[in-house]
Amino acid sequence: MNKKSSQTILSRIYGRGRGAVFTPKDFHDLATAETVRQTLSRLAETGKIRRLLRGVYDYPVFSSLFQAPASPDPDAIAQAVARTHGWTILPSGETALNLLGLSTQVPARYQYFSDGPARKYSWDGGSLELIHRANRETTVLSPVTALVVQALKSLGRSRIDETVISILRTRLTAAERGRAERESRYVTSWVYELIKKLAM
């Protein structure tokens, strides 16, 4: 095994910080596929990183309360899986609401629309479902705008009040709110009206 390549891989992991989730493809620019595979396997065996799924690892956050590695970030896992396969994913339903702070309920299973095949993944303490759907309305939107659109649709027009708008204003920067207004003019009319209000 190339010791220099292994150290470079470890340096990148440390550079991403605790909580980062990654797959072998995130390091293929640094070493051969075999070197990357062996390095990640060795780091997992020594406890420096944690293997979550086949080919998916994280640099775990340590919980001082439980004196053990904390649960991994389900959204980071979803993004890593999508990245390694070249899929575009979009949080749906309760997942979108949770990510935007509009729901404190932790989804039993994190769900995403995907332009890739339908898949389910499980790890110790969580699960993820990718639902195949060609979502033409949101493919031209930035990830943040698409997330807001999905969250509003999931809530439904009748459940959106000033509290919801206020939470979204605190979660999104002024630039993100302005971009959402520019990008969403062709989505469902009532969703666009609410995003205009959000951007004020």
Q: What confidence tens digit (pLDDT) does each residue in 139-183 have?
A: 778 889 999 999 999 999 999 999 999 999 999 999 999 999 999
139, 88 Cβ separation under 8 angstroms: yes
pLDDT band at 2 (very low <50, low <70, confident <90, very high): low
- Predicted confidence at residue 28, as pLDDT, reads 93
Residue 64's pLDDT band (cuts 50, 70, 90): confident
143: DSSP letter: H
What pLDDT, on a 0 to 100 scale, did the predictor assign at position 1?
52
Reported as a pLDDT band with limits 50, 70 and 90, residue 136 is: low
User: How many whole angstroms separate alpha carbon 95 and alpha carbon 112?
Assistant: 8
Q: What is the pLDDT of residue 121?
A: 96
175 burial level (CB within 10 Å; 0-12, 13-18, 19+) = exposed
Give the DSSP H or E segment for 50.
Answer: strand 50-53
pLDDT value of residue 135: 65
Give the pLDDT score at 5.
81
Please give the pLDDT value at position 137.
Answer: 59
The CA distances from residue 128 to 5, 71, 109, in Å, are 32, 14, 5
**Is 82 in contact with 116 (CB distance < 8 Å)?**
yes
Is residue 6 scored above 90 in pLDDT?
A: no
Model confidence pLDDT, tens digit, residues 70-107: 999 999 999 999 999 999 899 998 999 999 999 988 88
pLDDT per residue over 14-28, tens digit each?
Answer: 999 999 999 999 999
Q: What is the mean pLDDT of residues 104-114?
A: 89
CATH class of domain segment(s) 3-69: mainly alpha
Pure H helices in 31-109? 33-45, 74-85, 93-99
Where in the chain are all domains bearing CATH 1.10.10.10? Answer: 3-69
pLDDT for 38-56, tens place per residue? 999 999 999 999 999 999 9
Which two three-digit tokens encode residue 53?
């799924």
- Residue 51: predicted pLDDT: 97
pLDDT at position 104: 84
